[in-house]
């Protein structure tokens, strides 16, 4: 699939999406990169470490987060997107579920919209915008409650509805990535199952899959560690994701995850002397 001006071989490779939170209140790095200079320095560092896509977020979506206005989110993200685009040749993802923010982001240069509500937050405006713009999209599983009858089957059903919305709006299928939504409307056990069944999620839905589990509570609860000590747990989940066929991994720590995934892919591909994972 094509994102921006880059081609991604989603059937054979596993790519790294780097997280850049330009927020004061993100759960793990809030306030560290919420001015343009620090955001650009972090972007340069992540590119040097091998990042494939940059995911910029202007509103924290951690549990209990404070929702901000469209205008404030645009003011946080659009200037950073423009600044990154003017300096670096890297595809940019904008992490937003609000179509007005997405519209401003696409105008600023965003190549992909990462929607945590899977096109279900509004009345179809986001889906129409993505279809008209030709941008790629990552559509995540989410819901208002955890009233599952059969948890994994219900997740698949929810995502089939998201795909129907995308199809109905005219979003090209080769522009769609799906995300099982680790950490959203799921218990601890649900999150572990979502990670363990990524291969089934991919096979049943038929789209490339992104795993976003970096530093999340499923790691903290398993290892009894705060968010700034979850690197090893994140790397373990990246390896599992790569082995189960995830095409994209959304992470904070680029270098360590790239090395682990490169090693994993070398073994899975049959001993090709550690060739570059791309």
Over residues 39-81, the pLDDT tens digits come to 999 999 999 999 999 999 999 777 666 789 999 999 999 999 9
The verdict on whether 250 is a catalytic residue reads: yes
Range of the domain at 219: 2-269
Rounded CA gap, 135 and 263, in Å? 31
Calpha distance 182→163 (Å, rounded)? 19
Residue 194: inside a domain: yes
Look-up: residue for tokens 């595809």? 91
Q: What is the pTM of this model?
A: 0.92
Asked, for residue 274, whether it belongs to a domain, the answer is no
Q: How many domains does the chain have?
A: 1
pLDDT tens for 161-193 read 999 999 999 999 999 999 999 999 999 999 999
Contact 97, 121 (CB under 8 A): yes
**Segment (H or E) for 237:** helix 231-243
Question: Quick check: is 64 in a domain?
Answer: yes
Determine, yes or no, domain membership for 186. Answer: yes
The domain that holds 197 is classified in CATH as 3.20.20.20
Closest CA to 105 of 81, 86, 76: 81
Q: How far apart are CA 227 and CA 244, in angstroms?
A: 25
pLDDT in tens, 196-240: 999 999 999 999 999 999 999 999 999 999 999 999 999 999 999
Q: Report CA-CA distances (Å) from 177 to 24, 69, 157, 228.
A: 28, 27, 16, 28
Is residue 275 situated within a structural domain? no
Among residues 120, 175, 202, 250, the one annotated as catalytic is 250
Reading the block at residue 148, the tokens are: 């599952």
Q: Flag whether 118 is in a domain.
A: yes
Is 222 a member of any domain? yes
Nearest to 149 by CA among 141, 140, 158: 158
Active-site residue, from 76, 186, 197, 216:
216
């Amino acid at each position: 699939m094509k994102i921006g001006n880059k081609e991604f071989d989603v059937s054979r490779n596993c790519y790294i999406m780097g997280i850049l939170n330009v927020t004061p209140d993100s759960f793990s790095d809030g306030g560290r990169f919420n001015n343009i200079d620090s955001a650009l320095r972090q972007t340069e560092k992540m590119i040097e470490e091998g990042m494939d896509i940059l995911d910029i977020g202007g509103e924290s979506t951690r549990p209990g987060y404070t929702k901000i206005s469209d205008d404030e989110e645009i003011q946080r993200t659009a200037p950073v997107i423009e600044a990154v685009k003017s300096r670096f040749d890297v595809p940019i993802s904008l992490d937003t579920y609000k179509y007005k923010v997405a519209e401003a982001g696409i105008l600023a240069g965003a190549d992909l919209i990462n929607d945590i509500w899977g096109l279900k937050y509004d009345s179809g405006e986001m889906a129409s915008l993505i279809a008209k713009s030709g941008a790629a999209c990552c559509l995540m599983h989410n819901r208002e409650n955890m009233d599952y009858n059969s948890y994994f089957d219900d997740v698949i059903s929810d995502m089939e509805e998201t795909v129907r919305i995308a199809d109905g709006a005219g979003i090209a299928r080769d522009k769609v990535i799906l995300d099982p939504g680790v950490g959203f409307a799921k218990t601890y056990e649900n999150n572990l199952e979502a990670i363990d069944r990524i291969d089934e999620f991919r096979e049943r839905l038929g789209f490339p899959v992104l795993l976003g589990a970096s530093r999340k509570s499923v790691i903290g609860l398993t290892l009894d560690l705060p968010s700034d000590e979850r690197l090893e747990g994140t790397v373990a989940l990246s390896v599992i994701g790569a082995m189960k066929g995830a095409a994209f991994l959304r992470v904070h720590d680029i270098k360590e995850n790239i090395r682990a995934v490169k090693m994993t892919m070398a073994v899975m591909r049959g001993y090709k002397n550690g060739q570059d994972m791309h």
